């Protein structure tokens, strides 16, 4: 279960934060600019690694995937020139009979490593720096990526201490003033010869004034909190629940640059962007059966949902009528085999049996729930972007007509390992965008109906037509 993350911020603190954030950003960008651009940097290496290597080599540099683990490869080769040559064209090196190359070829054939003849020495150096950094744990420990890191601390930094200090100072001041007033009264009373009775603390605290004040402040504070929380009810910016499959948008959209609408194909023609069916996954995963990040277990979930046997490369006949035991036999065999390959074993060892059992349990857990008892059938994802029932949103309108990038609302999905809701999806947020976004007015003959705007645009009286100008702020554009 996901617990709501309630934030209450006043506009002033928001503004303050904003200011502060800009300041930080300015300072950091200055630093970035002034620092000499290194020829070999592990950061550049990371990017290169993602684009060239990560499809076949595991990201942790320790486990084997399609290709071997890269951690420590420089040591294993011992000869940078040969290693670089290998990366640029492995087959040539094998043909030359380099011993290390031949050794690797025997181990991995017939899989051929893709040739990268265009990589410069600096680029390969950067990659090696990154690989070594990840392998020995030094990369990522020190603050490296200025831009990325800048946001974190600024946003998380709380203004509470400052408020506490101000509150304490004010309280002390109030106390001091009260004391002075009391003393003055005492003095006056004494001078006038009146009998001044000093009130006890209890008397002061239970006096009408104090009680009224307390109740009054409680009501104000209570209402304020209620209103703030009520506004945020149902909003779940940052919501990143666990999904039945550890699907990585970073790998698919970022690394492999698969177009968003390849999978979410109905976004261009329907109100829903819709989650692809398992058959869409199979277009690629018939060939890619072992994941670069999570190995066999996660992709096997797709196979178990749709009924594909990766060992025989065939769809299982009458899969709907198979019992859990039969299904288990198919997929534990596959996962066991993969384990054996990765560990270079002839038979499953004890650890392997345990691992496969564990993976199977995870598959069952992911593909079944209270309503869905069978493993076969759809993968039930946890929905992240939830709009209230009274909101009508149409993807086609935004994607096809408005030509809005998916990232505008969904955030940098291509960098998200675990998908999270990037925007508040609040009405204010929608409205703001409608106010600022320009309509693709001249490209689409549909808008010919708006003759006056066309005239105004032509005469220069109007610089642009926003969504708001054609009624994009009206209730029944989204609520009906």
Binding residues for another protein restricted to 286-305, rule: CB under 8 A: 305
Q: Measuring CA to CA, which residue among 99, 64, 62 is closest to residue 79?
A: 99
Write out the binding residues for another protein, residues 449-468 only, by CB under 8 A.
Answer: 449-453
Q: Which is nearer to another protein, 311 or 369 (CB)?
A: 369
479 lies in the binding site for another protein (CB under 8 A): yes
Cα–Cα separations (whole angstroms), residue 179 to 169, 183, 211? 15, 6, 19
Give the Cα separation of 49 and 134 in Å (integer).
12
CB 406 within 8 A of CB 260: yes
Residue 202 near another protein by CB under 8 A: no
Tokens of residue 193, six digits: 């010869």
Instruction: For the CB of residue 257, give the shortest distance to another protein in the complex, in Å.
Output: 22
Dist CA 140 CA 291 (whole Å): 23
Cβ partners under 8 Å of residue 124, min gap 6 = 84, 87
Q: How far is the CB of 240 from another protein (least distance, A)?
A: 13
Q: Which stretch binds another protein (CB under 8 A): 201-209, 285-293, 358-366, 446-454?
A: 446-454
Query: CA-to-CA distance for 473 and 431, rounded, in angstroms?
Result: 6
Q: 295 in helix, strand or coil?
A: strand
CB of 204 to another protein, least distance (A): 31
Cα distance between residue 252 and residue 445, in whole Å: 36
DSSP category for residue 291: B
Residue with tokens 């698969």: 258
Whole-number minimum distance, CB 457 to another protein, in Å?
Answer: 13
Name the residue among 218, 251, 42, 22 with its Cα closest to residue 126: 42
- Considering only 228, 270, 407, 437, the residue that binds another protein (CB under 8 A) is 270
Q: Site for another protein (CB under 8 A): which residue of 143, 152, 234, 238?
A: 234
CA 110/CA 267 separation, integer angstroms? 40
User: Per rule CB under 8 A, is residue 276 in the interface with another protein?
Assistant: yes
For residue 68, the minimal CB distance to another protein (Å) is 35
Which residue, 1 or 160, has its beta carbon nearer to another protein? Answer: 1
Q: How many other C-beta atoms lie within 10 A of the C-beta of residue 138?
A: 12
Residue 231 binding another protein, by CB under 8 A: no
Q: Is 470 in the site for another protein (CB under 8 A)?
A: yes
The nearest distance, CB 32 to another protein, in angstroms, is 40
Helix ranges (DSSP H) in 35-98: 42-48, 73-77, 80-88, 90-96
Which one of residues 445, 459, 460, 463 is an interface residue with another protein (CB under 8 A)?
445
**Contact pattern for another protein over residues 372 through 401, marking x by CB under 8 A:** ----xxxxxxxx--x-xxx-x-x-xx--xx
Q: How far apart are CA 328 and CA 24, in angstroms?
A: 54
C-beta closer to another protein: residue 1 or 141: 1
Sole window of 156-164, 233-241, 288-296, 351-359 interacting with another protein (rule: CB under 8 A): 233-241
State the Cα–Cα distance between residues 412 and 430, nearest whole angstrom: 18
# residues near another protein by CB under 8 A: 60
Interface residue with another protein among 7, 151, 272, 464 (CB under 8 A) is 272
- Give the tokens for residue 170: 């004010």
Minimum distance of another protein from residue 67's CB (angstroms): 32
Residues that bind another protein (CB under 8 A): 1-4, 229-230, 233-234, 236, 241, 266, 269-272, 274-280, 305-306, 376-383, 386, 388-390, 392, 394, 396-397, 400-401, 443-446, 448-453, 470-471, 474-477, 479-480
């Amino acid at each position: 279960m996901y617990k709501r993350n309630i934030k209450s911020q006043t506009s002033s603190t928001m503004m303050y934060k904003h200011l502060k954030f800009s300041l930080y950003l300015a300072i950091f960008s200055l630093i970035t600019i002034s620092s000499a651009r290194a020829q070999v940097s592990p950061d550049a290496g990371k990017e290169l690694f993602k684009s060239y290597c990560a499809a076949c080599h595991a990201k942790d540099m320790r486990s084997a995937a399609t290709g071997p683990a890269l951690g420590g490869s420089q040591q294993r080769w011992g000869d940078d020139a040969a290693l670089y040559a290998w990366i640029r064209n492995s087959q040539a090196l094998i043909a030359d009979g380099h011993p290390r190359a031949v050794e690797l070829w025997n181990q991995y054939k017939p899989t051929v490593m893709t040739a990268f003849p265009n990589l410069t020495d600096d680029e390969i150096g950067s990659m090696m720096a990154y690989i070594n950094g990840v392998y020995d744990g030094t990369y990522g420990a020190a603050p490296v990526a200025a831009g990325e890191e800048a946001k974190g601390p600024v946003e998380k930094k709380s203004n509470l201490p400052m408020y506490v200090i101000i509150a304490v100072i004010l309280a002390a001041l109030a106390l001091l003033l009260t004391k002075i007033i009391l003393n003055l009264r005492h003095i006056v009373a004494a001078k006038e010869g009146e009998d001044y009775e000093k009130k006890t603390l209890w008397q002061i605290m239970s006096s009408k004034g104090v009680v009224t004040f307390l109740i009054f402040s409680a009501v104000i504070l209570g209402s304020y909190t209620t209103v703030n929380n009520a506004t945020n009810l149902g909003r779940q910016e940052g919501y990143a629940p666990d999904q039945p499959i550890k699907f990585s948008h970073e790998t698919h959209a970022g690394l492999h640059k698969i177009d968003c609408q390849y999978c979410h194909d109905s976004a261009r023609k329907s109100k829903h962007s819709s989650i692809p069916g398992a058959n869409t996954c199979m277009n690629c995963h018939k060939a890619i059966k072992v994941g670069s990040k999570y190995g066999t277990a996660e992709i096997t979930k797709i196979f178990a949902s749709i009924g594909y046997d990766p060992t025989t490369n065939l769809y299982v006949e009458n899969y709907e009528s198979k019992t859990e035991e039969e299904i288990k036999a198919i997929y534990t065999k596959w996962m066991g085999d993969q384990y054996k390959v990765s560990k270079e074993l002839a038979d499953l060892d004890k650890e392997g049996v345990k691992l496969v059992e564990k993976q199977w349990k995870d598959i069952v857990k992911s593909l079944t729930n209270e309503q869905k008892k069978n493993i076969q059938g759809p993968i039930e994802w946890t929905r992240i972007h939830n709009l209230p029932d009274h909101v009508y949103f149409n993807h086609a309108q935004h994607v096809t007509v408005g030509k809005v990038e998916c990232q505008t609302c969904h955030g940098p999905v291509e960098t998200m390992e675990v998908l999270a809701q990037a925007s508040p999806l609040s009405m204010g947020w929608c409205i703001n965008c409608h106010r600022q976004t320009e309509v693709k007015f001249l490209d689409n003959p549909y808008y010919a109906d708006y003759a006056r705007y066309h005239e105004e645009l032509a005469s220069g009286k109007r610089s642009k037509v926003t969504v708001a100008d054609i009624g994009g702020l009206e209730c029944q554009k989204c609520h009906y």
